[in-house]
Amino acid sequence: MAARKRKARAMAAGGVVLWRRLSAWLPPAWLPRGRLGLSALLGRLSDRLSRGRDRRARRNNFSPAGNEAGHEGSVGRGQADACVIQKWLITEGAHRFQWIRNLVPEFGISSSHVKVLSSPAEFYELLKVQIKAAKQRVVMASLYLGTGLLEQELVDCLEETLEKSLEAKGSPDLRVSILLDYTRGSRGRKNSRTMLIPLLQRFPEKVRVSLFHTPNLRGLLRLLIPERFNETIGLQHIKVYLFDDNVILSGANLSDLYFTNRQDRYVLLQDSPEIADFFTELVDAIGDVSLQLQRDNTVQMMEGMVHPYRGDKVAYCEIANRRVMEVINSARTRQELLHAKTFHSSHSGSSLLSQQGSQASGGLKPEPDTWIYPLIQMKPFGIQIDEMVTETLLTEAERDARIYLTTGYFNLTQAYMDLILGTRAEYRILLASPEVNGFFGAKGVAGAIPAAYVYIEHQFFSEVCYLQQQERVQLQEYSRAGWTFHAKGLWLYLAGSDLPCLTLIGSPNFGYRSVHRDLEAQAAIVTENKALQQQLHQEQEQLYLCSGVVSKSTFEQPNRYVKLWVKLLTPLIKNFF
């Protein structure tokens, strides 16, 4: 019965894929903006219409000429649709993911502008170098800023760069914008706020510190839940760091552990002004609906803005939705216009765009072979783009394709579990062993969280075994002495390929919190370039080298013993961590 339910759920998810494949061939003007739930609705309708069709008919060799010319003729409506689907199915490599641009802006760049980092130390040094070199803007979004010596050095770098900007004559005006979570950033007497107040006091016109407060923590709930536990209700979890036109995408926070011995992922996008503009606008939009830190360590909302926990919740969330969707849709419109110009210039033989690019950069602008799609998930605001794209990627994965999925906190949503267990691709899921879990050794109730993750992992593994999927779905545990594990994302290898053509990198953990509670952002990076694919492959291999395969004997080890009260409590609280 359970297996049938999972297959039924996977088939339902396939309906969404069908609509998205078809919508990829529709003119952008025909597609809805800001009402992303319509795609899911139409997907389910199309699934019902197509269930009775023979799947093999979709792969028949219909004549594409009639469909492309707008004449269905003897092909018929159903066969024309099948022709469109067939064209999608035979699309090679990275181009099969172009349907994502129907939801978000697509940024085409050269793979030479992408660098994959591997270590916390490399990440930390890059942050300092980029801060010191910034001339126009520094924008940093993180869960929190730590209070140690390494974090203080980052603040000192910001202060030094701001001072140089003031002293320089005729140079661009440097602006610093920092977005953190209110509850996590306010924890303790010495916290993120106290670390940043000196910058606000010295450069009040140049520094902005925004503290996002979830609208779901309000009223009696806000009064009763103590510090630390109030962070379970919802957080600002986005991690993006940009300096002028250089962007670092990561899952790492601004804390000493993430600079030393807490393994994460990091990708640098160099000389990418459109992407930097997008994330600047995104951080500004969230900042506008966040509390603003003042020089006396108080906070206040921008004038005329609805308060996140004192004001009307529905009104606040509607405003936030509009602000974020404006950023997404305006960027998407700009990129569509750019694509249209590029298309017309290439078909007319014009090299105007290349000439303009060479004039601006002083050299010939390389043709894009890599595409960046920013995926936003803000369920409190009704924005579910990342969830939709991730589910579609899992659904689309064909037989013999391989997906390497990693998360520091293994607590997949039911939908993701159904798709993993109900589709045909091979999965290698990397998760933290108890000893490298970030909560290992914590005091109080938090100290039991690693055991709760063990229990969740055991349940999922038992389901895999029950469905006899052990060969196709494999769990691996990251273990490294003296380190903790925080990496998240996935790598997609198409059938027959030894290198990935797509990766997801950013803040989501693929769990309930990421989908329903927190503000999240990651990017789908799609590339045709073999050298960049090799970089991504090496990144994946390096992480998985520090892991062991999970088997039944894994859960027989003494350190995997889960107390009864943890087993009883986990189903009740698993949606909060």
- Annotate 497-556 with DSSP letters as a single string: -SS-SEEEEES--SBHIIIIISEEEEEEEEE--HHHHHHHHHHHHHHHHTEEE--GGGGG
Query: What are φ and ψ of residue 490, in 5° steps?
Result: -150, 160
What residues act catalytically? 237, 239, 244
Q: In the numeric block, which tokens belong to residue 548?
A: 């062991």
What is residue 236's DSSP assignment? B
CB burial of residue 442 (10 Å; 0-12, 13-18, 19+): middle
The contacts of residue 15 (CB under 8 Å, 6+ apart) are 43, 44, 45, 46, 47, 48, 50
Q: In the numeric block, which tokens belong to residue 348?
A: 């007319």
Q: Which residues pair with 491 in a beta bridge?
A: 404, 503
Q: Which amino acid is at 264?
A: D
Query: What are φ and ψ of residue 115, in 5° steps?
Result: -130, 130
Cα torsion 120, 125, 130, 132 to 10°: value is 150
Q: How far is it, in rounded angstroms, from Cα 57 to Cα 83?
A: 10
Query: What are φ and ψ of residue 172, in 5° steps?
Result: -60, 150
Q: How far is it, in rounded angstroms, from Cα 173 to Cα 355?
A: 29
pLDDT tens track for 257-287:
999 999 999 999 999 999 999 999 999 999 9
For residue 345, what pLDDT is reported?
A: 61
Would you say 109 and 372 are in contact if contact means Cβ atoms under 8 Å apart?
Answer: yes
CA angle 315, 320, 324 (to 5 degrees): 150
pLDDT tens track for 453-482:
999 999 999 999 999 999 999 999 999 999
Q: How far is it, in rounded angstroms, from Cα 242 to Cα 260?
A: 21
Q: Which residues pair with 504 in a beta bridge?
A: 490, 524
CA distances from 174 to 82, 83, 142, 205, 368 (A): 54, 53, 20, 10, 30
Nearest CA-CA partner of 145 in 301, 260, 225, 252: 252
- CA count, 13 A, side-chain hemisphere, 68: 6
For residue 433, what pLDDT is reported?
A: 94
Q: Which amino acid is at 80?
A: A
For residue 70, what pLDDT is reported?
A: 36
Q: Which residues pair with 476 in a beta bridge?
A: 430, 549
Mean pLDDT, consecutive 10-residue segments, the chain of 577 residues? 56 50 46 44 41 34 31 35 39 76 96 97 98 97 98 98 86 90 96 98 97 97 93 97 98 98 98 98 98 98 97 98 98 90 60 47 72 98 97 92 96 96 96 85 74 94 96 96 96 96 97 96 97 98 97 93 92 86
Which conformational region is residue 31 in: left (phi greater than 0), alpha (psi within -120 to 50 degrees), or beta? beta
